[in-house]
Copies of this chain bind each other. A is one copy, B any other.
């Protein structure tokens, strides 16, 4: 149950087995169906998730139902609605599984407790933040000034796995283009 998580942590920091076990035991297993909402727009986010299996999507929806996908996290990665998790304000975004998934869930309280008590976990958190920041940067700036074709090419180059696991509709909402346009572009590649 904890092997993927432990492998992930070991890959990021030098850690003894005892600390690793201590960390692990704060995580509980959550099994979900596909399209299950983990966090609603108005909710404050109290959990961090590690994905053992499946895929989690971070997105928003405008009043008229238009969805805008922000981020997709797959096996072996952490995901949460970080701004809400940090500030404890309403998320203004949704967390949702897009496949049947197995998640390891830790409460915010326990998470920050580990950050305080286990230096390696603090280091891990710093690396998650650094990496998150870099990915977010690449995402914004990778797209800035791009037309639809360039965006698709960018994803093919930098996140090819997305195209394989994500529906066209979600892909389009991630790229900020319409499904029609995405469809037209794909037919010309």
Which A residues contact B (CB, under 8 angstroms)?
A: 60, 62, 66, 68, 70, 82-83, 86-87, 93, 122, 125-126, 129-130, 132-134, 136-141, 144-145, 176
* A138 to B70 CA separation, bound complex (whole angstroms): 11
Measured CB to CB, the nearest residue on chain B to A131 is B86
Count identical subunits in the complex: 2
Q: Say whether A136 contacts B140, CB under 8 Å.
A: yes
Identify whether the interface residues of A are mostly helix, strand, loop, or mixed.
helix
* A93 to B144 CA separation, bound complex (whole angstroms): 13
Q: Say whether A68 contacts B137, CB under 8 Å.
A: no
Q: Which 5 A-B pairs have the closest CB atoms?
A: A129-B129, A136-B136, A83-B134, A140-B140, A68-B144
Q: Say whether B62 contacts A145, CB under 8 Å.
A: yes
* A87 to B122 CA separation, bound complex (whole angstroms): 19
With A68-B145, A141-B68 as known contacts, state yes or no: A130 contacts B176, CB within 8 Å: no
